[in-house]
Amino acid sequence: MLSQEVLYQYLLNEQWKDILDILYKHKQHIKSDTLLNHASKIFEVEFLRKVKDYDNSRLDILDHLQTLNLLHHGKFFTLSSENYKTLILEIVKRKSLKDAYGYATEFPEEEICKKIISDYKALKFEEEGYRPKDIMNLPVNWIEIYNRTFEILNNQGDPATYFSGPRFIDTVKQYERYFPDYSQFINQRNLEGKSTSRKIYYYDILLGLSDDTRLLVIKRILEILKPFAEDKVIQVENLLNNNDPFIEVTQSKVETKKPIVFISYSWDNDKHKKWVLDLANKLCKDGIDVILDRYYLKPGSNLPHFVEQNLSKADRIVIVFTKNYKLKADKRSGGVGYEYSIMNIDLYKNQNSNEKIIPILREGSQEESIPTFMQQFIHIDITNDNNFNNSYNDLIREIHNEPEIKKPEIGMKPNFEQT
């Protein structure tokens, strides 16, 4: 007669195979017996706790793990969701790359599974090369959509809009994580004797994506290009919606016009860069077209050209003042120094009517972080994170020209002679 003591004895001696045999043969008995059921749950916890200490080369342990997986899926013994994940991750650790891949796809966000999936995709690429998906539902005006989009992104003299091969493929990889990187893709094209002309292989890449992914990539590219070529982008968007490209372009422009804001800041440290990026993302969500270097600049980009072009294009300029910003501005050092020099020229001309620059103080006191000339202008204090929402509200209202306090309309003079 099977008793819980047998299971406990096997557990003490780490006789895993014997326990697994019992779980398989005595499924109904264990379910109906509270003590046996409790003992089996203790096995579940202890086995998955101890298995982590066993060497990955032990084939018997891998066999036990796979047997437990079969018992789980066959409803002979059901693991908790957390223990099931532990089981799968242990199998992934112990399997060869090709055999581990299928298990890894069950928990693709776990680090070990991400690595297995990435390595497997790389291996498949080495063995087979990139294989595009079957073309299913292309818009009837697809060629015109593509040609118009390529015309906008092909301006090599404009680093904000120009999409080099690496930049284009990096955009694709945002939605197709395991797409080959630039060098892998070009090597494959060369091996297959295919053209490496950007217009041709961009077209091939987009055709090879799934319908949903292709649309996401096109929309993301248009989103990046829109601040710099709005009319042309709107025409492509009209085509995507099966409209005439020129229909209501002027009206659409008026309706979709967003304030354009350039953010000037110094790369003090990773924490500060993240804070500025979070601020930019939040402004975008609140209807503001933000120009931030990290959105557009890639290695090799022309920084002076980017700064000159976009400072003049911006409706407002938000300067994030810190101690390091003041130091660089005073010394005219790096990108900050260049931006500050250009902004100062405009400010000197319009000292009494600054309608463009919004100073915000992120760190330190006014004297420590704001250059002397800039101290004459009223700034928004965002040094206190606990008061961020109030400060942000002041900033967003200023950008949208929606002051919290508005002067009321002037009424009629009272009649003082009434009694």
By residue count, the chain amounts to 419
CA distance 392 to 410: 31
Tell me which amino acid residue 204 is: D
Measure the CA–CA gap between 89 and 99, rounded to whole angstroms: 13
Of the candidate ranges 78-87, 193-202, 308-317, 383-392, the one whose mean pLDDT is the lowest: 308-317
Express each pLDDT in 286-343 by its tens digit: 889 999 988 887 776 677 777 877 887 888 999 999 999 998 888 877 778 777 777 7
Per-position DSSP letters for 236-273, written without gaps between them: HHHHHTTS-TTTTHHHHHHHH---EEEEE-----HHHH
Query: What residues pair up with 289 in beta bridges, in sequence order?
Result: 260
Q: Which phi and psi (to 5°) does residue 417 adopt?
A: -90, -5
Tokens representing residue 253 in the block: 């422009």
What is the tens place of the pLDDT at every residue in 233-243? Answer: 999 999 988 77
- Spatial separation of the C-alpha atoms in residues 358 and 341, rounded to whole Å: 16
Integer-rounded Cα radius of gyration of the chain:
31
